[in-house]
Amino acid sequence: MILLILLASVLIITVTIYQYDEQTKEYNLMRFGRKEEATKKNIQIELNRKTTFPVITENLEPIFQDRIYEIADVHNLEITMYDLSGKLIKTSIPYSFKDSIPGNLPVQTVNDLANKPDERIVIIKEESGINIETSYTYLFDPLEKRIGILKLQFSQDNADQERELEEFLSRLGIVYFFMFAFAIALAYFLSSYITRSIKVITNKMHQTRLYKRNEKILLENASSELNILVDAYNNMIDELELSAVKLAKSEREQAWREMAKQVAHEIKNPLTPMRLSVQSFERKFDPNDPEINEKVKEYSKTLIQQIDVMSSIATAFSDFAKMPKQKRERIDVIGVVKMALDIFNEEYISYQPQASELFANLDKTQLIRIVTNLITNATQAVDKEEDPRIEVRVSEMGTSIMIEVEDNGKGIEEDVKHLIFEPKFTTKSSGMGLGLPMIKNIIEAYQGTISFASAGGVGTTFKVILPKT
């Protein structure tokens, strides 16, 4: 709106100035035409009057000896007469103004006049803001015979017209100034009214999430277009909630299916040797065998081992299923990490704390669990390296602590990096793939983060950041 009014005002002022200038030129030209016509009639009357001089070229000067000044004064213009070859005969300019007295006509002007069908040349030019209009026509005797060339020159000062234009433009500018100010105010209130509703819609859209209850938009006195948009958003919220419920149900069912498959797979592993052991014992059982007691003990030992494996499987799945309870106590992280490393006998494990003491409010058991799991994974990663190396670093980061475990193992392949923290995923031939997901749950329960960087043939570095409080 503001731009349109501004452009309209500029265009109107431009057109006004152009139109005013054109009208001024047309008015001046018509005015000069009337003066020219009246002057020529006056001169022709003098030529038609009976005098003692014959009306010929040579007598133009004595005929208009004094009369030319009177005619020039009456019509307020300059009159100059030439013979047919362009030689000056008589002018109304007093001889006291010698610098203004014209000379002979240029040959080109004489020739141009002779070739004009209407036998008239008009020249308009501007000097110092003053329009100078000049015309060239022929003088005729009573028998319509050419006897000379008449030059009429009129000077028009347009100062009054320009002053009127300036006054008109100043009034027009004041009007457009108030219109412009009104347009700015109106545009501001209209845009505020429109954007207020749009801002409400935008904020609601930014807050829209799949797994949360989203509020519908309620607007009062909104335009029909915005009401259509709001209705579409509210319908989308209804559909989104239905989709979220269906998706959550589907994900839960899929998770239970996958977990059931994994539990069944892990349980089947110890059941197979147990079945074979029972079948073998049944075939070879002999009550009279003198070594029967030893065989029963060996058989029982085998079954107990497989039962322990099944128990550990059940415990692992149970621990993963429940979120670790947050137990906070003031502990020395440097000492607890060293305690966790003491159970490992590998000489290539080095511990590099950045301070002698570093206290934080954490669960001592869960911190040991985190470190133990990361070291275990690192030792398995460097198992086949000729010069294995594992470095454990603990440092302080403002209000947090950072634990880094770096190894020079084979690294993690690029296409499986996104699966590292997924349950059931493992790159080892044994294990259930629950270690990293489990410690990730522990770390996130303390509002911490775990990340890693790995390169093939270089090694892997796991970084754990935990808040002190």
**Counting beta carbons within 10 angstroms of the beta carbon of residue 148, is it exposed (0 to 12), middle (13 to 18) or buried (19 or more)?**
buried
Task: Give, to the nearest 10 degrees, the angle between helix 67-75 and helix 2-48.
Answer: 160
* Same domain membership, residue 93 and residue 142: yes
Q: How far apart are CA 124 and CA 132, in angstroms?
A: 6
pLDDT value at position 243? 77
Phi and psi at 120, nearest 5°, equal -155, 135
Q: What are 300's two structure tokens?
A: 């029982």
In a domain, 248, yes or no: no
Which CATH number covers residue 426? 3.30.565.10
Within a domain: 23? yes
Please give the pLDDT value at position 430: 44
At 406 the pLDDT is 93
**How many structural domains compose the chain?**
3
Buried b (16+ CB within 10 A) or exposed e, 33-43: eebbeebbeeb
In the listed set 164, 190, 216, which residue is the last one of a domain according to the structure? 164
Q: Tell me: do 306 and 336 sit in the same domain.
A: no
Q: Is residue 201 part of a domain?
A: no
Shared domain for 316 and 461, answered yes or no, is no
Q: Are residues 9 and 146 in the same domain?
A: yes
From the list 269, 402, 408, the residue with the least C-alpha distance to 350 is 408
pLDDT (0 to 100) of residue 326: 64
Contacts of 407 (CB under 8 A, 6+ apart): 378, 381, 382, 388, 389, 390, 391, 459, 460, 461
Residue range 168-221, pLDDT digits in tens: 888 888 888 888 888 888 888 877 777 776 777 777 776 666 556 666 766 666
Same domain assignment for residues 340 and 439: yes
DSSP for 403-451 reads EEEEE-SS---GGGGGGTTSTT--SSSSS-S-HHHHHHHHHHHTT-EEE
Beta strands 146-157; 130-140: pairing state = antiparallel
- Which pLDDT tens digit goes with each residue over 372-382? 889 988 888 88
Q: Please list the ranges in the chain whose pLDDT falls under 50.
A: 96, 425-433
* Length of the chain in terms of residues written: 469
- CA pair distance 35, 29, nearest whole angstrom: 10
Residue-range definition of the domain harbouring residue 274? 268-320
- Does 303 share its domain with 341? no
Q: Tokens for 402? A: 């950072």
